[in-house]
Amino acid sequence: MRTVILNSFARRQTPDSKFSHFAGEESDLLSRVEAGLPGAKPGYKDGVILVPVSPEGFFSGVVEITPETPLKATFGARRKGEAPFVDVVATGGEKLPAMAVEVVLYRHDLLAADGDATPAPEGEAPAEWEIISLNARATEGAEPMTPMAMARNLLALPGGTKADYSAEEFARAIVYWSTRAMRG
């Protein structure tokens, strides 16, 4: 029995998706995550951990914009109850290679309580951990949030989590995202 398996939620992270992804074999990903378990950090609640792994073979969901990069703008809310906004994504271009990666794991029993756990093969016990997300970023340090996300948080708008940012943090986010977009 494996200690870690890939949850269906993380399987949507493919080269053609808007998300970060791993370009290698699933067995290699699982082995790398299992090897990284001793270095795991606590996640946002009990039963969630962040496992740092080597960024080799990972790509972020971010595209470096050039004059040839096709872009698409939409106007809408992320979810019900939130204010709509203009969202610009790159519909072409290459995802940037990852500089840092954290793999988000949820404990199986936590997912099972919500009905989101991966069923174990017949006659086998479920894996202890399930990979929920591959968080690959194109920066070694923290990647700046989008200015819109920062504004939503600063102003405590629906969908935001109250936070304060300095003028310099806003400026760095604006400069960073002025030449990049998420793959959409």
The beta strands (E) that lie in 65-171 are given as 71-76, 85-90, 95-97, 100-107, 129-137
Angle, CA of 74, 80 and 84, to the nearest 5°: 35
Which tokens hold the place of 39?
A: 């270095």
Residue 180 has a CB neighbour count (10 Å cut-off) of: 19
Distance CA 59, CA 124 (A): 33
What pLDDT, on the 0 to 100 scale, is given for residue 44? 87
This prediction's pTM: 0.83
pLDDT of residue 1: 57
Any idea what DSSP says for residue 170?
Answer: H
**Looking at domain 4-57+98-143, what is its CATH homologous superfamily?**
Protein of unknown function (DUF3228), domain 1 (3.30.2310.50)
Q: What amino acid is encoded at 19 in this protein?
A: F
Q: Where are the domains of the chain?
A: 4-57+98-143
Structure tokens at 41: 């950090």
Q: Which residues of the chain have pLDDT under 70?
A: 1
Q: Which of 140, 141, 138 lies closest to 177, judged by CA?
A: 138
**Residue 46 buriedness (CB in 10 A; 0-12 / 13-18 / 19+):** exposed
